[in-house]
Copies of this chain bind each other. A is one copy, B any other.
Amino acid sequence: MKSDIDFITASDIENAYKRISVYTNTTPLLSSSTINHLTDAMISFKCENFQKAGAFKFRGATNAILKLKEKTDIRSVCTHSSGNHAQALALASKMHGYQSHIVMPQNAPRVKVNAVKSYEGNITFCEPTLQAREDTLNKIKEQTKAVVIHPYNNYDVIEGQATCFYESLQQSVQTPDYLVCPVGGGGLLSGSLLTAKYFSNQTKVIAAEPEMANDAWQSFRSKNLILSENPVTIADGLKTSLGSYTWPIIRDNVYDILTASEESIIKAMYFVWERMKIVIEPSAAVSLAVVLNYPEIFRGTNVWIIFSGGNVDLQKLPWQ
């Protein structure tokens, strides 16, 4: 029987990178001497906050749409998302002549709604529950015949997210001792694990999760998939549960999952804005928070941290 991880091969990732890198930004690997001094480690930050639509999600959405184009004549996609996947899918759709239908909860931040609109996404609002989101998406799907692109439980999306670490490896003569990557639904993490397995086998991949939404941590500790239940955290991109496609890859390959308190996430985010002069969102700050919280693990090593995105409402900053 084919194991889960074999659904995506090394050449699948190489091909995904060839496919999407015409459209995606090659985001920089930056470092900060202040942070290196502070941690006594050599840290590089893969800055997906500079990715198109402001987050790594654009990689997966672009890969999913380009692969869809090879398979069917349908030129319409749909999803439910209140966050970065919505913007990413809307922009990727616009760039490739697709219609996008996005189901968003009524209470989605205005700034995210406006971004989807600016990319010509068709928004349908619904009650802010998972049930309402799924029911509304099913209705939209029936009406429009659009293809559902799930934000992470989709191998084409995972393959796209795998290109983030893959691209980093192309940019550097070194490979890291540790890759630290945030985990929400697990698309970026499972993609990164596959890239590590095929292209940088000695790299230990550590996932970073908010203490207040620690379902992946619980799942990994118990070796059973545990779903998150309405978690409350400033890291709004990391509230989702792992999926049936991402969980087995994570269970079998991640080196460890570490958590960060809300306070330490906000502190790390503030530090990056103030010292590195770049805008990252709370979900992106979780990885640095983990590195600062566990200095003994990372001291003297070469660490790469994925800054997953930079979409924040500048009117509502967490330190105000």
Interface, chain A (partner B; CB < 8 A): 28, 49-50, 54, 111, 270, 273-274, 277-280, 310, 314-315, 317, 319-320
Contact = CB atoms under 8 A, between A and B. Distances in A.
Q: Can you list the 4 inter-chain pairs with the closest CB atoms, starting with the nearest?
A: A277-B310, A277-B279, A49-B277, A278-B278
B279 A273 contact: yes
Contacts of A277: 49-50, 54, 278-280, 310
Contacts of A310: 277
A279 B270 CA distance: 12
A94 to B, nearest CB: 13
A273 B319 contact: no
A320 B50 CA distance: 24
A158 B111 CA distance: 42
A217 to B, nearest CB: 28
Nearest to A269: B314
A54 B277 CA distance: 8
A279 B317 CA distance: 14
A116 to B, nearest CB: 15
Contacts of A54: 277
A273 B280 CA distance: 10
Given A277-B280, A315-B319, 14 more contacts: A28-B28, A49-B277, A54-B277, A111-B274, A273-B279, A273-B314, A274-B279, A274-B314, A277-B278, A277-B310, A314-B317, A314-B319, A317-B317, A320-B320
